Amino acid sequence: MPKMKTHSSSKKRFRLSGTGKVMRRRANRQHYFEHKPTTRTRRLANEVEMAPADAKKIKRLLGK
């Protein structure tokens, strides 16, 4: 049986926390910050846990 390869784009976008949760970054945090309120950009700065339905798929792509 060949080894399972990690999905390269997924490993750049997602990470596993110490307890095994799939963490992702929030959207709308790339550019045009001068048009967005500072409160919004601060809120979007934190990572958030992936939805359980999607987390199962992402774990498989990460080879877990």
pLDDT value of residue 47: 95
Q: Where are the domains of the chain?
A: 8-61
Backbone angles phi, psi at 42, to 5 degrees: -65, -40
Which pLDDT score is estimated for 60? 93
Q: What is the pLDDT along the chain (64 residues), one digit of tens a residue?
A: 898 899 999 999 999 999 999 999 999 999 999 999 999 999 999 999 999 999 999 999 999 8
CB atoms near residue 59 (< 10 Å):
17
Q: Does domain 8-61 have CATH number 1.10.10.10?
A: no
Is the C-alpha dihedral spanning 6, 10, 13, 15 positive or negative?
Answer: negative
pTM of the model: 0.81
